[in-house]
Structure formats: structure tokens, C-alpha cells
Chains A and B, each alone.
Chain A
Amino acid sequence: MTQVDNLANSLMNGPDENGHFGLFGGRFVAETLMPLILDLEKSYEQAKADPEFQKELDYLLTYYAGRPSVLYHAERLTEHLGGAKIYFKRDELNHTGSHKINNCLGQILLAKRMGKTRIIAETGAGQHGVAVATVAARFNLPCTVFMGAMDVERQSPNVFRMKMLGAEIRPVTAGRGTLKDAMNEALRDWVTNVDDTFYIIGTAAGPHPYPQLVRDFQSVIGREVREQMMEAEGRLPDSLVACIGGGSNAIGLFHPFLDDKDVSIYGVEAAGRGLDGPDHAASLNGGQPGVLHGNRTYLLQDDDGQILEGHSISAGLDYPGIGPEHSWLKDIGRVNYVSATDQEALDGFQMCSKYEGIIPALEPSHALGFVKKLAPTLSKDHLLVMNLCGRGDKDVFAVAEHLGMNIKG
């Protein structure tokens, strides 16, 4: 096979020039924003071709974020579950405590190149907001973070962190005051402040080029895993597992492996109180294709096309949409999209804390909940990598409450 054939058959080439991954993606935005996202796309293409840009990003990833994050053999969990050999990709060890910093460093360098002087962002759990506030402080740019009023309540540690970092927090009460409303509000701000403002989107969704851009900046996760696994085991992993809200940590882990047909890939959605009721955030397993926030993708919506609220114990997963590349990967069958309930996530949270001495965030706790079911069904020479994409400090109050413990005094 020639290289051209290889490229044509690759699953890693998307999106096309209009930002489509098959049916999904695209640029569904108001006219005011069109010139801005076209400009962003052009600037990103130029930046990608500029070795200086990559050099600066690599430097910051190494010396500021602390990359590469280690690939850790979770020996006790492996023993406890009695099946696959489990590795954690320790992205919770990054500066700011999650994978979100990878993307924020990339985007703020882009903002700087484009001469933008003000940063805005949306956040749900606050992990992305903290990462944005962090890079904004590092690069001395004023920063406004939109956060659903409900999330401001349930993620108070992260709200405090953002404030310490100098960000202005705007609690969003419009709509129902959750992540999707925060994203609406950020888009409204952007459309009003078109000249000076750069919008750092945190997940692999939004209008083209955001899904591609976020994926590219997060793909450092998967590229490191390839190298680290070759070093540790002399071969590629057999399966990959990551939790999915909008899907940025998952696409970052998955993308470099899409063409490795022998690698099984699992994305774990939040099933909330169960997929048979309305209280979940599983856009792929319980939604329909639609158009929101600039892209076509699977959405939680009613028969009339009104967007529904997602529910999850984790504020980082309750987005009613999902990155368009995941929608495409679902439809072509390359990735298995499964789910874990609130309870399974709580079990995963406790299991990881108890057996590995690592308190995970509630988001990857969903991946843990699934690994708990999957690993025992696999043989001992099966290499499983799970992205431990965030640490659980921010969630201890919420988890304590769910477990019926009073730690607030």
C-alpha cells in the first residue's frame, strides 16, 4: 500500500475543510462570529506550520504543566479486579490537576499570536475554568469565566481557585444555570466583544476549528501513551478507556490510536440515575443528532428540538452535547460508547482511593466504574489504559454528601 492510500484510509484525517467529521461538526454560528472563526482557523493553520509555536508550547507543557504525565501500572487495582493489566495515564498530576491545561496553553499562545487582549471561557466543574484562569495569569491577560449559578454552588473550591488566580467569575442564571447556559453566555460575550476577545473553549466541541484545535492540543495524551507503553511493555495497549462529557480528554487519548485496529476503545458517558429515565448526560447513548453551540452532534433533546438538561453527579459531564468527532466515531463504530451511573462512579471513586491511594475526580470515576466491570472479563496479559484525567480534591465535599458524611462541620 502506498502512503497516499494509507492517508486516504486513515481515521485521523478529519475534519474536512469545512470542519465536518462525516455528518457531524461544521460551523453553525451567527454571522457576526463567522469572520472570527475563519480568522481563528487561518491563525491556527499558520501556528501549526510555525516551529516556534510548537517549541514554545512544548516548553510550557514540560516546565509549566509538568508533562509528560506518567503512565502508571495500577498494580493493586489490577490484582483486585483480577483481569486485565491496568495502567493509569496520570493526567491528574498536571499543573492545575487535570488534562485541561494542555488545551489552555495551546489556545492562549494562539490568542497571543492573534493579538487578542482579553480571555473568556465557560466552565462546568471548574477544571477548565481553573486552567484558563491559570494561563491567563501566567500570560497577564484579563480573564472572565462564565459558570452556571448551580455549578458555582456545587464547585466552590474551584470558584475560589479561579478568584485567587485573578479571574472574574460571572455566575450565569439565564436558562437553568448550568454548563450549556454558561456556554451560551460566553458566546454572547464573544459576539459583543469581537475585536479584543479570545474564547478558550474547553471541550472538543463548538464551531470548527475548535473541535480540531482542542483535539490536537489534547492529543499529547495519546502520543505519550504510545511511547510510554512501548517502553513499559514493548507493544501497544489492547484497550483504552476514558470518560466523556464533551469529550476532550477522551479524544486526546483516542486520536493517536484510531488507525490501530487492534486497540479497542471505550468512551464512558455519564448515565446519571440510569439511561432508562431522563436524568443522565449520555448524549450518544440517549440523544439524537442536532445542532447546538456551532456544531452538529448528538444532543439530549426533546421531540421538538428543545435542548434538555443533562444530569450527572459530576458537574464536568452534564453537558447535553458531545464533541462532533465522537459522534462520528460512534456512527462508524470505531469507538464503543458505554456508560456508568452516578452510583458506579461513586464506587469507582472509592475503589481507586482505597486500592491505589489516588483520589480521582468524579469525571474519571465514571471511567473507573466501567473498568471495574470490564477488567475482570479480560485476560491477565490484556493491557488496559485508563485516562485518569483529573484529581478529586474539588469533589470531596460532594462525595461526602452522597456518602452521608458531614465534613463541613
Chain B
Amino acid sequence: MTIKTRIDARFEQLKTENRGALVTFITAGDPVYDVSLEILKSLPEAGADVIELGMPFSDPMADGPAIQLASERALANGQTMIKTLEMVREFRKTDNDTPIVLMGYFNPIYRYGAEKFVADAKEAGVDGLIVVDVPPEADEELCIPAMNVGLNFIRLATPTTDDERLPMVLQNTSGFLYYVSVTGITGVNAPDISDVLKNVARIQAQTDLPIAVGFGVKSAEQVREITAGAAGAVVGSAIVREIEANLNEDGSPREGLASRVKMLISELAQGVRT
């Protein structure tokens, strides 16, 4: 089945521009809804090519402390699945090109109702889903319903995904493949880039999908090195930490938080532009 989404269009466009994609992650509702929406809206202009929007979850097992704290801030300030979709709708009022991928864990989706969720997400302007704890063995739970409404289901391949398992991971994956650079959680260990690019090449031999590399990527330099051999680089925890660094003692956002995040994204974007 070929479904053409904003993700497909964006990677095709970047190919003609002969550069890699900067994929940026923020958690929806972090630190509060309004500021989070302001950051979201500023991302494309700052240089983000693809946006991953985290759906906060109380128990983010695959994430490190930075993203867990972001989830906690968002939830404490009343973020819900409905509000996350609302953020996407707001964003789409002014941007119809930048792909948005919702990223998170299965339980809030399961509770929402998987079929209803994929329909509502599509309607809101979402292009793809990354749901960490639904492996290919459970495709019928979410991946197939997502495909049926025209959402990309983006799967993670990891250093433990060997050649024997890879075809299963690639089957039903669309949009792009997310290569996890390290065994571990987000935002902790720095990847060994030459190792990562060897694995990307190994996987690329088996698929035409663009491959984006994430986990532990935090500088423009790393973004540059990664996109020399992969279609995209994902930065998450570093951005979320910038949000954390611009909070007052009581957790409220400091003046100028959104613009400082925008500055960081612009810096990171140099990694795919020079």
C-alpha cells in the first residue's frame, strides 16, 4: 500500500536539496500548553524539518530523566491526549507542510481507543506515529489501524535488531525508519557515530525508506556527522533540557523560554545546512 504523507513529501524534497533532515522532539504541553504551542509553531522557521510531538505518559520506560520530567511537567499542568491533538490542529492552521509525528506509549492510546485515536489524529493533521512499546508482533493493535487511515507507522530499529529480525521490523513501517543509536534510553549515552553509520548502511541495504538516527544526539556537529550517512538526525532530550533550564523555581516558564528553544533549534539546524 502506498500512502503519500507529508513525511514522504518532506524526505523527497530534502533529497532534491541534497541535505539531511533535522527531526526535533518536544513533549506536548511542556511546560504548559500555551508555551508548548508557541514552541511548536516556531519549530519550522527555526529549522526543524520533521516534528516529533511527545504524548506525555506517566511511565515512559524507554526515556531518560529529561523526557520523563517533561512528561511529568506536562501532565501536572493538565495535558491530555485531547489537548495534544488540539495542539496539532492549532499548528496546522498556519503550517500545512511540516510533518508531525506523535510519539509515545501505547496505554493512553489504548485507553482512548486505538481505532478512534488514529482517526482523530489523522483528522487533526498528524502524519505518523511512533509508539515505543508496540512491537511488530502486535501489528494488529495499532500499526494496521494507523495504516488504514493513512498514517505512517514509524518503527524503531535498534543495535539488537539483527538481520534475521530486520525484515519483520521493516514490514509495515512507512514514512521513515527510526534507528536507535545506542542500547539504552533517550538522552543519556552519546552514540559512536561510525558504528551507527555502519548499522545504518546495513539496514539501508534492505530498505528504500529514509533512516533517521536518534538517542543521545545533542549537537549540530553530531547532526552533521549523522546526516552524512543517514537521511535524518533526531534531537530530543537536548531540546527538552533547554526548556527545563528556562523554568523558574516554581516550575513556571521564564520570560523568553520559547525564543531560547528556537535559538537552540536554529543552531542544531546548522548541522543539516552548512
Hey, what's the 0/1 contact readout for B147-183 against A, CB within 8 Å counting as 1? 0000000011111111001000100000000001001
The chain B residue with its CB closest to the CB of A195 is: B183
* Contact status B59-A307, CB under 8 Å: yes
Would you call A187 an interface residue if the criterion is a C-beta within 8 Å of the partner chain's C-beta atoms? yes
Would you call A291 an interface residue if the criterion is a C-beta within 8 Å of the partner chain's C-beta atoms? yes
**CA A26 – CA B81 in complex, angstroms?**
24
**CA A28 – CA B184 in complex, angstroms?**
17
* Contact status A303-B111, CB under 8 Å: yes
Residues of chain B with a CB closer than 8 A to A35's CB: 160-162, 165
Known A28-B133, A31-B161; contact A191-B109, beta-carbon cutoff 8 A: no
Would you call B5 an interface residue if the criterion is a C-beta within 8 Å of the partner chain's C-beta atoms? no
Known A35-B165, A288-B111, A299-B107; contact A29-B133, beta-carbon cutoff 8 A: yes
**CA A193 – CA B188 in complex, angstroms?**
13
Known A31-B155, A31-B157, A194-B183; contact A290-B111, beta-carbon cutoff 8 A: yes
Scan residues 145-203 of chain A and give those whose CB is less than 8 A from a CB of chain B. 174-175, 180-181, 184, 187-188, 191-194
* Contact status B111-A305, CB under 8 Å: yes
Known A31-B156, A32-B160, A175-B59; contact A304-B183, beta-carbon cutoff 8 A: no
Contact of A30 among B62, B64, B80, B108 (CB under 8 A): B62
Q: Which of B90-98, B134-142, B225-233, B253-261 contacts A (4 or more CB under 8 A)?
A: B134-142
Would you call A116 an interface residue if the criterion is a C-beta within 8 Å of the partner chain's C-beta atoms? no
Hey, what's the 0/1 contact readout for A235-279 against B, CB within 8 Å counting as 1? 000000000000000000000000000000000000000000000
The chain B residue with its CB closest to the CB of A208 is: B137
Of listed B65, B75, B134, B159, residue having the most chain A CB within 10 A: B134
Would you call A34 an interface residue if the criterion is a C-beta within 8 Å of the partner chain's C-beta atoms? yes
Would you call B119 an interface residue if the criterion is a C-beta within 8 Å of the partner chain's C-beta atoms? no
Scan residues 22-47 of chain B and give those whose CB is less than 8 A from a CB of chain A. none
CB distance from A141 to the nearest CB of B (A): 20
* Contact status B61-A293, CB under 8 Å: yes
> What is the size, in residues, of chain B's interface with A at 8 Å between Cβ atoms?
43
* Contact status A28-B75, CB under 8 Å: no
* Contact status B61-A305, CB under 8 Å: no
Residues of chain B with a CB closer than 8 A to A188's CB: 61-62, 64, 184-185
Residues of chain B with a CB closer than 8 A to A30's CB: 61-62, 132-133, 135, 156, 158
The chain B residue with its CB closest to the CB of A188 is: B185
Scan residues 233-255 of chain B and give those whose CB is less than 8 A from a CB of chain A. none
Known A299-B107, A304-B81; contact A27-B138, beta-carbon cutoff 8 A: yes
Residues of chain A with a CB closer than 8 A to B134's CB: 28
**CA A282 – CA B26 in complex, angstroms?**
35
Would you call A18 an interface residue if the criterion is a C-beta within 8 Å of the partner chain's C-beta atoms? yes
* Contact status B159-A32, CB under 8 Å: yes
Scan residues 268-317 of chain A and give those whose CB is less than 8 A from a CB of chain B. 288-294, 296, 299, 301, 303-307
**CA A294 – CA B135 in complex, angstroms?**
10
Would you call A352 an interface residue if the criterion is a C-beta within 8 Å of the partner chain's C-beta atoms? no
**CA A244 – CA B184 in complex, angstroms?**
32
Residues of chain B with a CB closer than 8 A to A192's CB: 183-185, 188-189
Residues of chain A with a CB closer than 8 A to B68's CB: 174-175
* Contact status A294-B180, CB under 8 Å: no
* Contact status A292-B59, CB under 8 Å: yes
CB distance from A197 to the nearest CB of B (A): 11
Scan residues 207-228 of chain B and give those whose CB is less than 8 A from a CB of chain A. none
Hey, what's the 0/1 contact readout for A14-38 against B, CB within 8 Å counting as 1? 0000100000001111111111100
* Contact status A306-B58, CB under 8 Å: yes
Contact of B80 among A29, A292, A304 (CB under 8 A): A304
* Contact status B81-A305, CB under 8 Å: yes
Known A174-B68, A305-B81, A305-B112; contact A31-B58, beta-carbon cutoff 8 A: no
Contact of A31 among B75, B105, B158 (CB under 8 A): B158
* Contact status B138-A305, CB under 8 Å: no
Residues of chain A with a CB closer than 8 A to B165's CB: 34-35
The chain A residue with its CB closest to the CB of B160 is: A35
The chain A residue with its CB closest to the CB of B180 is: A32
* Contact status A301-B107, CB under 8 Å: yes
**CA A311 – CA B65 in complex, angstroms?**
24
Residues of chain A with a CB closer than 8 A to B133's CB: 28-30, 291, 294
Contact of A306 among B57, B138, B156 (CB under 8 A): B57
Contact of A187 among B61, B106, B161 (CB under 8 A): B61
Residues of chain A with a CB closer than 8 A to B58's CB: 175, 306-307
**CA A374 – CA B59 in complex, angstroms?**
37
The chain A residue with its CB closest to the CB of B183 is: A194
CB distance from A310 to the nearest CB of B (A): 13
CB distance from B50 to the nearest CB of A (A): 20
The chain B residue with its CB closest to the CB of A38 is: B165
CB distance from A259 to the nearest CB of B (A): 29
Known A34-B165, A35-B160, A307-B107; contact A27-B137, beta-carbon cutoff 8 A: yes
* Contact status A291-B110, CB under 8 Å: yes
* Contact status B185-A191, CB under 8 Å: yes
* Contact status A191-B111, CB under 8 Å: no
CB distance from B74 to the nearest CB of A (A): 11
**CA A16 – CA B64 in complex, angstroms?**
33
Binding site for A on B (CB under 8 A): 57-62, 64-65, 68, 72, 75, 80-81, 105-112, 132-135, 137-138, 155-162, 165, 169, 180, 183-185, 188-189
Q: A32-B159, A293-B61 are in contact. List 20 more A-B contacts (CB 8 A).
A: A28-B135, A28-B138, A30-B132, A30-B156, A31-B135, A34-B160, A35-B165, A174-B65, A184-B61, A290-B110, A293-B59, A294-B133, A299-B107, A301-B107, A301-B111, A304-B108, A304-B112, A305-B109, A305-B112, A307-B107
Provide a sorted-by-A list of 29 A–B residue pairs whose CB atoms are within 8 angstroms. Answer: A28-B106, A28-B138, A29-B135, A30-B132, A30-B135, A30-B158, A31-B135, A31-B156, A31-B160, A31-B169, A32-B158, A32-B160, A175-B68, A184-B60, A187-B61, A188-B62, A188-B184, A191-B62, A192-B183, A192-B185, A193-B183, A291-B106, A291-B110, A291-B133, A294-B133, A296-B110, A299-B107, A301-B107, A307-B58
Q: Closest 10 CB pairs between A and B? A: A305-B111, A305-B108, A192-B184, A32-B158, A306-B58, A305-B107, A28-B133, A307-B58, A31-B156, A291-B106
